Structure 1
Amino acid sequence: MRHFTAAATLMLGLVGCAQAPLKPAAKSAAAAAQPLARMTVVTPDEDHDLLAQLLAGEMALGHSDLKTAAVHYGKAMALGDDPAVAERAAMLAIATRDDAAAARALDRWQALGAKPAAMAQARAQLALNRGDTAEARRQLEILVGSHDKNAWREFGQVLLGARDQAQAGQLLEALATPQRLPADPQAWLAMSELGDKLGRHAYAQRIADAALARFRNNAEVYAWAAQMKARNGDAKGARALLQQAIAKAPDNVHLRLVYASMLSESGDYAGAAKLLDHGPQDANTYQLRAALAARSNDTKALAALYRQLQQAAPDVREQNAFLLGQLAEMQHHETEALAWYGQVGDDDPHAFDADLRSAVLLQAQGKSAAAHELLGQMQLDYLDQPAQLRQAWQLDAELYMREQHYVQAINAFTRALQVVPNDPGLLYGRGLAYAEVGQTDLAVQDFRSLLKLKPDDIDASNALGYTLVDANRDLPEAEQLIAKARAARPNDPAIADSWGWLQYRLGHLDQAVQSLRGAWQAGKDADVGVHLGEALWAQGNHADARHVFDEVRKIDPHNASLQSVLKRLHP
């Protein structure tokens, strides 16, 4: 009102002087008299600015900086009267183990009207942090005695987050008794599971048994009780319970899955498949049925499942597009598999795997450019997800290896190693690629790095040994490496090839031919055949050598090693 009066007086004065021109001095005086020019706006400093503290606290939470967030929320709590702010301050202080700040925040929250159950839960957490079992028990009794609909769930959360599992287990057994638990089977199951997690297995079993006696028509109770029996080694009792449960709820998909999984673990794949073949289906039943059929190598079951899913409702096919792609692949319907993988949605948890499989299939169909283009797009799409990015680069490199484009493979492996340095699989792949282009020193360097990371890696030992043999250098070291691999896997054709090639370099031709012939007969690998042919030729067995070279030519007519040997030996 004072500003309003001053302004009105000023306006009257200006009206009265409207006819007289103002001198410069008069203009300055009039300007100085403007009320807004004399107004002072008082703003609080940051420590006393509620909004600033809340914003700073939320920014800290966005960076997962709980300690800084707790400090800001503690200040915000003191500046306002919002119980939600005080609650957040208390929870952050408890989470960061600042017991003094937590106690202050809890008192403030209580003063602002916290609900008794929520307050008891928070004070119980603080008491557990302090190791005060008596106070924790008192607060937990208040919590479960509040009859809040979420009381037992919050009770479980308090104990699950306790630092001292023994202390939490004691409180669980003391308070979550059959006499106190509510008439809610989910609460009983939750307490039994919590007991199991806290190492109180006998308690968990007692609660499961008591729940079974009280809730005889609840299928989930039967399922949990059966799982407890199976975990304790009573497979027969577990199966009996599940049979009863399924009899009570034959359409319960979860129960059928639990029972089928149990049968599968015991080796009864046929029984598991039979159980799942009938009744309602969902994505999990279809996947387990496919896994069971694949494990049993039951091609008829796989084909039948594929037909069943193909004829299912559109929404079912959409939900199972990835599985349909896998089933099509298993039956060598590559074009159909590609089509199904293409229908996997971006928000499907299998979207990444569907793209990987699509790239493999495209390359197998001779569409290498499309495969690499897809993998290149995946590398852009998953830039912020290192695990997926690594897989995309590795597959890109492996496809280049299959195409014998080794320089591109090296580049892809190198990019992946920049994301995941010292990754054993990537080092191994790049070492093989270096060896293929004759960069022996770099190949040896990668294999040595891999063996430092995994000294007992048999594949790395064999790869380094073979690379040294192929380059005809450091043969004593190569012999040690390959002998170690051979002792670990005496029937491995790749290792037998390395050993035979080593014997050839050492001039032990009879041993070389014996080892190489065994490796060749085991797999008819083109490179092994080239080694065998060369050893036979050096042995003087030219007819057998020519026969082996002819077989290699049929398998891989453009094999670089074969062309080199034929040019050198003129067989």
Structure 2
Amino acid sequence: KIARAWLGAFPKDDAARLALLRVLLADGRSNEALGHMQALLEQDGGPQMVAQVFRALADLPDGAARLDLLQQLSRQFPKNPYVFYYLGLMAKEQGKVTLAVDAFDRAIALDGNWRELELMQAQVLASIGKLQEARKVMDKMTTRYPQDTNVLSAYVDMLAAHYQWQDALPLALRWQELQPHDSAVRQLVAQLYASAGNFPAASQAFRELLDARRIDLNSYLFFVANAAERAGQTDTAVSMLGKVSKDSTRYLQAQEQLALLAFRRGAYDSAQTRFAALRQDFPDDAQVLDTYLIEAAQLQQAKQWKRLETLLQEALARYPDQVDLLYVLAEYHAARGQIEDAAAQFAKILAIDPANIDALNAYGYLLLTQTDDAEKAAQLIEEAIKLYPDSPAIQDSYGWLLFRQGKTEEALSWLRRAYAAYRSNEISAHYIEVLYATGEKALAQEVYRYERQGQPDNTPLKEIGKKLKLNDDKKK
């Protein structure tokens, strides 16, 4: 009533109309709110007013309704680039990446000299695997704005996120030239050398940080050890990690890394002995549970089933009904083909914690992929996506369900959302397969190429590459 009285007394006062707009949105009255949005933008369609309208939308509890209002505004103001920018921004936040790309494209067509908008467009393109298109946008930007550290930072982050470390290095070095005393940039350069497998350059860069007292000795040892490992110099890595002092905050990480290196060499006894020692040295329950889970993941990856079974028995004896351990036990049964036992463990987790989204999703995915109970699988996965539509793992399962049901285009939409948010495990492989099935074979090949570079041990990626002969395409 107060807001209406204010606007009634001052009908041309933007502050009064914005106040009423926020009240209406907080009350969920979208249709009436839309009329006031239109009135505000008809009076002033500039960037500040559009930004205020966008901020007001945060008062509307329903995210889908917020997005719908912006879509309606974009249709009513088709020549306003700011409306399309904020539509793209909200669509990106909600994982609607296709809508975000289209909105940013429209905004750039209306105003091609908007630096932040171009950055957003490139980031969204990269998030759905269109890295080459994104790089074209970023190359133009770094040419136009060679000293803009925000542009350089965004480009470096994009390339590093897609495992293009060697290509990111010249940009990071340019950034370092512009900010030579920024220790975070110098450390980024050192990490990029390490990721790219250039051990001499990484070692030198970390040494310079140590000499300048930007990192301590134990951090230096830990970082150089990781660089040595990336370069295949395992003996050097082991030697450096062994020198990290026990009173250092890096000690736990160093010991875990030594155990992981032992796993990779197949020295399972040595690796497990190290984890057992860590549980003695760090008896805090959270740390102990963490080491159990890391060790179990390594044993599962190595298919050391007897060792894993023994470890889980020990862990569950110490932490009965701990849901993370029960989840690993369910995965163990599933991997061994013991479907009924796996299903029983997932059901047990849900009895303990009915809101456990990981178990709900994994149970449905297990039934979908390893049983003939498609109806039950669909029921569980559809329940999960209704409850948690923003979870990448559930988006992936739901997309895969749709793909198995023959709804390929709808499946691609959900898998694209999942991939944009999280690219590990089976998500990348599912996205690649459905891209290929919908005819986007070149994009499937592009995504496969850099995901395999960054995730060489990802079994689902290896399998999809073999199934679709993507490695053969690469050789050609």
Instruction: Compute the TM-score of the two structures, normalised by the length of structure 1.
Output: 0.40
For CA contacts below 8 A with separation 6 or more, give which structure has more relative contact order: 2
Larger Rg: 1
